[in-house]
Structure 1
Amino acid sequence: MCSSQDNAAGLQPTSAASSSSDPALILELKTRRPPSLEGRPGCETWSVDFSPDGAWFAWSMGHGIVWVVAWPLDSQDEGQDSQVDRADKSFSCGHPVWGLAFGPRAPKLPGNKSPPKGNNNNNNEGNALLLATGLENGTIKIWNVRTGVAMLDLSGHEGVVRNLLFLPNGSLTLVSSSRDKTLRVWDLPHKGKKVQVLSGHKDWISCCCVSPDCSMMATVGRFDRMVCLWSLRSYTFIRNLTGGAHKTLYLLSACDFSPDGALLATAAFSGASWWVDLWDPYTAQKLATLADYFDDYGQNQISSIQFSPSGVHLAIVTDDRALGIWEPGTPGLTMRTQADRDSNGLCCKYHPQGGVIATGTRDGHVRFWRAPRVVPGLRHLCRAALRHSVSTHQVEPLPLPKRIREYLTYRDISTHEH
């Protein structure tokens, strides 16, 4: 039985002074666990997320607990009701939590009980901020962040629910990927009873992402080495991207669309090397590759990647260092933290307004890093605005000079290997 508690677990915020290494560590959140649980399997932070408005932060701190805190951490809201709403909360899910995602503030879901009489409007479901949690046993639980109530249980997956995301169009449509080799698209207004099941991967699905216009979804299979594109309009398979690997044996681990939807980044690793490929999802053309090699600690697995909100940078988390930042089109990482055997980064998430990246670690802690703030150029802003609603196929026939057409389709990003 799932339950929630306010202030059920102690947090230990640890501030860190900026060092010469960028991105700079702002602070670290550590959990207080009984000594018997320290370092035991199940304590990993597999997923972190900011709410769409950036006002909340959540992470799976291990042992079936999800912690939700108001952001920024030192924020003080005025008014008694606001302070109650903004109180830190923990959700006990009963099983290890592998995926989580904030949803939009949504109307009341069918089947919810009406608030008790005498409660004020702050307790109703009409403006609920949702949090979806994917569990090791295949169950997905939907929570009301403000009240701490579990609103829905979604069943159907037969393996670990590794990734969750709500469609970025503000609808109550949830996408889940699982180690059972399937994807599911849930319609929450119908209590999850209307669900589309997509199958085609031959092994675990490591990651899934959705294009900003909600037309496409990309998935990567960890062991089947497949990068699949799916239509979210017809719920059908589009194509498998090939040619992105330059090693005989490799594993795929992560993927992400750029904010304008014109690029798809995929991450892979093999032995002591890793690389990131940039694709045109409309033409299946590989546009660029970033590769890095380390001999410090042996295998260096990419755990997570994400484009910055502006689309200028790509955050990369590897198993042997906390964070690296790449600016596509440059021959190497723009900045990266020092190698650290104890980092064991597992996930990352940009704040919606940029400037901060949160990373989760294998020991259940969370680190917040100061991300580079770059004012995008006018050309980049124009390209992003156009490409958000215009596909590559629509750009190519336009009567434009070749250089402009190549810029709009990202063909000017040459392939680099470092």
Structure 2
Amino acid sequence: MEDSPVLLAELRPNREQPYEWKASCETWSVAFSPDGTWFAWSQGHGIIKLIPWPLEEDLLRPQGYSQCFKVKEVKGHGSLKEKTLDCGRIVWSLAFGSSSTKTGWKLWPRSWHQEVGPPGTLLLLATGLSDGYVKVWNVHTGRVLFNLTGHKDVVRDLSFSTNGSLILVSASRDKTLRVWDLKKDGKMLQVLSGHIQWVYCCSISPDCSMLCSAAGEDSVLLWSMRSYTLIRKLEGHRNSVISCDFSPDSALLVTASFDTTMIMWDPYTGEKLRAFLHVSLPPAFDYSNAEPQLSSLRSVCFSPEGLYLASLADDRFLRVWLLDVEDPVSVAPVTNGLCCTFFPHGGILATGNRDGYVQFWTAPKVLSSLRHLCRKALRCFLTTYQVLALPIPGKMKDFLTYRTNL
């Protein structure tokens, strides 16, 4: 087993909360901006902290969080200052989206021209709220740009396209997903119906061709992001599917369920490649009087280079997995963890918990092999069917489609 994740810092809200909000202190979502310069923390009670990254050295300490941040100089972005966003409702989901002025600037709404921050990039933060609204904020100014309405219940997850188009997908407990075009003043493009239970999560593939959604039922739906039609249903879980994520090259999809398993899929063929079972009490920890048991999952995500998975389960452990190894390669105790995400440049994991805390952990930071880099480059533009049609040996096809580790 590799070295266990080491706790680098713990951020805690240090403001008194209204008595009637005592049951809404959870950190349901955390996120890093795509360029790694901001961290968004839903600290409960409707409050979001936008924190410049990296943290100041004197804040990298486990004992707590100071409200008084120093101004952090970030190369190429000027002085970034912490911001507090008051959403007025419980925040269930967060997602960053960005677009450059180099792409279609003249077609943007005129009112947006003053919203662009240095260096010519519009960086947005979408927040999904308990009343069904989606508020979209300008990160540089802290102003609300949109209040998107249409959902009838909690907006449980959000996902932005990564191609700068500012297409946003929202997933709600009203059993639907909605697709919004923020460059067209937040126009709702499509309502996707097909789930029979609360929709827990959604994820747009990095190549922006597919959308995954999962709900209280035991199946996962894959949609086309071009036609907004259903591609296929993935069946294999035996309980609610709570979290999903695509690999950086879009060649893999991972889903996590209350049935205690993570399943890794080929999204192009629908094939189940492998399953990871969450058995409580990893062997690195000594609990001599406890019986091993299965544990429901809360969150799963791919590392930025696509070689690792991170997961949080109800047994209060953070696990890090290699794609082709059945057991976790490292574990760390996390109290009441609800969500996890990798820093986009690797090396750090952030987790949020039920008490409104955020913890930052060391994560594997690897130099990818030439074989993996070649596979990743090819899979960014080749589907599984296109790989299988190549005139190359079968072992190479298996490696390129993640069936084996060549």
Please tell me the TM-score bracket, short chain as reference.
0.7 to 0.9
Q: 2:248 aligns with which of 241, 259, 271?
A: 259
Offset of 1:323 from its aligned partner?
A: 1.3
Offset of 1:35 from its aligned partner?
A: 6.9
Distance 2:193 2:119 in 1: 34
Distance of aligned partners of 1:378 and 1:124 in 2 relative to their CA distance in 1, 3 Å threshold = closer
The match for 2:65 is none
The match for 2:227 is 234
Q: How does 1:337-416 map to 2 (within 5 A)?
A: 337-338=332-333, 343-412=335-404
The match for 1:333 is 328
SS class of match (1:384): helix
SS class of match (1:325): strand
Q: 1:82 aligns with which of 78, 83, 93?
A: 78
Partner amino acid, structure 1, of 2:148: L
The match for 1:279 is 265
Q: How does 1:139-218 map to 2 (within 5 A)?
A: 139-218=133-212
Q: Normalising by structure 1, report the TM-score.
A: 0.84
Distance 2:164 2:125 in 1: 14
Q: 1:67 aligns with which of 25, 49, 63?
A: 49
Q: 2:12 aligns with which of 22, 30, 35?
A: 30
Partner amino acid, structure 2, of 1:266: T
Distance 1:96 1:328 in 2: 35
The match for 2:66 is none
The match for 1:13 is none
Offset of 1:301 from its aligned partner?
A: 2.4
Q: 2:299 aligns with which of 300, 304, 308?
A: 304
Task: Assess if the C-alpha contact under 8 Å between 1:21 and 1:337 holds in 2.
Answer: no
SS class of match (1:333): coil
The match for 1:112 is 111
- Provide Cα deviations, 1:242-269, integer angstroms capped at 9, x if missing partner: 1x23x5xx22111111111111111112
The match for 1:7 is none
Offset of 1:194 from its aligned partner?
A: 3.9
Distance of aligned partners of 1:356 and 1:98 in 2 relative to their CA distance in 1, 3 Å threshold = same
Structure 1 residue runs of 5 or longer lacking an equivalent are 1-19, 116-120
Task: Assess if the C-alpha contact under 8 Å between 2:49 and 2:83 holds in 1.
Answer: yes
The match for 1:92 is 86
Offset of 1:402 from its aligned partner?
A: 1.2
Offset of 1:349 from its aligned partner?
A: 1.1
Offset of 1:321 from its aligned partner?
A: 2.0
Distance 2:117 2:387 in 1: 49
Distance 1:114 1:165 in 2: 24
Distance 1:49 1:37 in 2: 28
Aligned-CA RMSD value? 2.6
Distance of aligned partners of 1:332 and 1:37 in 2 relative to their CA distance in 1, 3 Å threshold = farther
Q: Normalising by structure 2, report the TM-score.
A: 0.86
Distance 1:125 1:71 in 2: 17
Task: Assess if the C-alpha contact under 8 Å between 1:306 and 1:350 holds in 2.
Answer: yes
Task: Assess if the C-alpha contact under 8 Å between 2:129 and 2:155 holds in 1.
Answer: yes
SS class of match (1:382): helix
Distance of aligned partners of 1:82 and 1:410 in 2 relative to their CA distance in 1, 3 Å threshold = closer
The percentage of counterpart residues that share the same residue type is 48
Partner amino acid, structure 1, of 2:30: V
Partner amino acid, structure 2, of 1:172: L
Distance of aligned partners of 1:240 and 1:22 in 2 relative to their CA distance in 1, 3 Å threshold = same
The match for 1:316 is 311
Task: Assess if the C-alpha contact under 8 Å between 2:278 and 2:295 holds in 1.
Answer: no
Distance 1:38 1:380 in 2: 52
Distance 1:301 1:331 in 2: 17
Offset of 1:320 from its aligned partner?
A: 2.7
Q: Once superposed, which parts of structure 1, at least 4 consecutive aligned residues long, lie more than 4 Å away?
A: 35-39, 105-109, 121-126, 295-299
- Provide Cα deviations, 1:15-51, integer angstroms capped at 9, x if missing partner: xxxxx96111111001113276599211000111111
Offset of 1:128 from its aligned partner?
A: 3.2
Task: Assess if the C-alpha contact under 8 Å between 1:320 and 1:345 holds in 2.
Answer: no
Is 1:52–2:54 an aligned residue pair?
no
Partner amino acid, structure 2, of 1:332: D
Task: Assess if the C-alpha contact under 8 Å between 2:280 and 2:315 holds in 1.
Answer: no
